Chain A
Amino acid sequence: MEQPVRADHAGSLTLRPGRGATRARAARRPRIGKALAPYLLSLPAGLWLLVLFLVPLLVMLSLSLQTCNYGTGACVMTWHWGEFWQQVSLYHAQLLTSFYFAGAATIIDLVVSFPIAYWIAFHGGRRKNFFLLMLLVPFFVSFVIRTVVWEFILSDQGIILGGLKHAHLLPQSFHVLATGYAVVAGLAYNYLPFTALPLYVAIERIDRRVLDAAYDLYASRREAFTKVILPLTVPGLFAAFLLTFIPALGDYVNQQILGGTNDTMIGTVIQNAFLTYFDYAGGSALSAVLMAIALIGIFAYARLLGSRTIEEYL
């Protein structure tokens, strides 16, 4: 993207007559400050990310190999590689639950948000921005409050179930809270914008002329959809999947507020390890496992589509 701008700029320099050009060229003479400019500009942010993003990840890896004293919280490096395997075998049920719930919520979100993303992109007209804002509306309420309100709505005698039970449409013992369904519902609600926006961007970018060409070549509406629109939105689908599944996988707020005790997700285990049991080694090992799982998706995405493309979907 920068290439044509710079080439054009160099061209305009040579064309510019007289004094201005010489001064401009003099200003472009390589000086130490000029040569360092990109590094100086990126140094503060780079240092911040190095010390407070990359180094912590390494610390996390190192903590997983240490043995900690639960009483004092002091840790000694013991190169205990077995920690990863121990944690995974101890909490494989919670890991699997996380996969089920996050996967179910992501699939629901993809199915629910594709039509609305399609509608806004193709038929939104002048009110596109308004509809996009409506998609983002949950973000204007704090994540925890949103989840609490769902607890409120889904509660046994709450707005929905209470009314249905009162009308004898549901048995009195029926409940949604403290089940996996409630957790998936909460996850699906909370992460829907993360799915809908990338899908919208992907569909919006489809060149209408390609679609017209398909119709001119006697494609039916179904064929145009399956053979033109769907393939062209695959990168967006992948981005939407990544941006929904990874956060949902590590989520523990929905599970703790909406879920029961037998469907604990891995996020809850990590949080308890750090904040309740002070088991920094175990918690770090599980976080490292979660990060490794996320990295598989991140690497696959960067390989197939390039790491910069994710920026277009944010």
Chain B
Amino acid sequence: MTALARAEAAEAARRDGPPRRRRGVRPGRVILPVYSWLVIAYLVFPIAVMIVYSFNRVTRGLQQVSFAWNGFTLQWYRQWNAVPGLTSSFWLTIRLAIAATVVATVLGTLLALALVRYRPPRFRGKTLVEQVLFLNIAAPEIVMGASLLGLFVTINLARGFLTLLLSHVAFSIAYVAVTVRARMAGFDRSLEEAAADLGANAWVTFRKITLPLIMPGILAGALMAFALSVDDFVTSNFVSGSAVPFPVWVYGATRVGIPPQVFVFGSAIFMVGICCALASIVVSRRQP
């Protein structure tokens, strides 16, 4: 067989062979990427609009966001503090998110430890706990908010920061527990055994071995809890009472007109969040 014939036979075999070898002619190589980038553009578009309109001048009337483009200004960034109710609601949201994150992360991590390490003979009711977590994640948020309001009204607990904190922790625990547990799946118990063999007591083993190893998972859970708390509107709207968090304030403002500073806060939260996320991607890529 000549070299040419061999090449032709190989070509024929390639043509008839499994399509996976014909990588170059997939229609998906053009259509799918274009489509995907269009979807990404659709997802980013409203955010771009928000950021652009946070620089929009207001020429007449009340200081509210308007649809018409009146020219570029940094006025709203300079006067970010000028709407008193907005600024205080923003700081309330930050305080609330920090408190809820700390509590939910501690409780959720402890629960995750129990779920990863123990099984029914030693941990009766584990299945029940898992089902409650599932229910908590899948339940409609409006039902959780409404039922919490029903509880607070029934036991006559005044609505405010405390009820917000109680509620935010209640919907964050399950997410933290699930996140930490997922990150602990490949946890190597022999390291703890080694520490115990070297004479470390349970507390020292936990602090020096377990905690550093599961720290990435705990941080991921904490970020999740923080994001959930900052963004929560539905539950907060039911249980906030006199203490008005940022999303509830903005919702209230939609009826009378939104001051441009709302877009400034929105852009700032977005930039901080996206920078954290990009940093975490870069860090995770550096790791071997």
Contact = CB atoms under 8 A, between A and B. Distances in A.
A290 B153 contact: no
A73 B150 CA distance: 11
Contacts of A73: 153
Interface in B1-57: 18-20, 28-29, 32-33, 35-36, 39-40, 42-47, 49-50, 53
Interface stretch (B72-80, B131-139, B208-216): B131-139
A118 B32 contact: yes
A157 B42 CA distance: 20
Contacts of B107: 44-45, 48
A100 interface: no
A309 to B, nearest CB: 9
Interface residues of A, number: 111
A137 B146 CA distance: 29
B60 interface: no
SS of B interface (majority): helix
A12 B190 contact: yes
A250 B123 contact: no
Interface in A1-53: 1-3, 5, 9, 12-13, 16, 20, 23-24, 27, 35, 37-39, 41-42, 44-46, 48-49, 52-53
Contacts of B266: 141-142, 145
Contact of A9 (B68, B143, B190, B251): B190
A54 B132 contact: yes
Nearest to A54: B132
A52 B146 contact: no
A120 interface: yes
B138 A137 contact: no
Contact of A159 (B67, B113, B115, B133): B67
Contact of B197 (A23, A123, A221): A23
Interface string A208-231: 000110011010110000000000
B151 interface: yes
Given A270-B146, A287-B142, A294-B138, A311 B53 contact: no
Interface string B277-288: 110010011000
Contacts of B178: 311, 314
A140 B118 contact: no
B65 interface: yes
B109 to A, nearest CB: 9
B139 A291 contact: yes
5 contacts: A38-B126, A60-B147, A148-B258, A149-B47, A149-B50
Interface of B: 18-20, 28-29, 32-33, 35-36, 39-40, 42-47, 49-50, 53, 65, 67-68, 106-108, 110-111, 113-119, 122-123, 126, 129-144, 146-151, 153-154, 166-167, 169-170, 173-175, 177-179, 181-182, 185, 189-190, 193, 196-197, 227, 230-231, 233-234, 237-238, 246-247, 250-251, 254, 258, 262-263, 266, 269-270, 273-274, 277-278, 281, 284-285
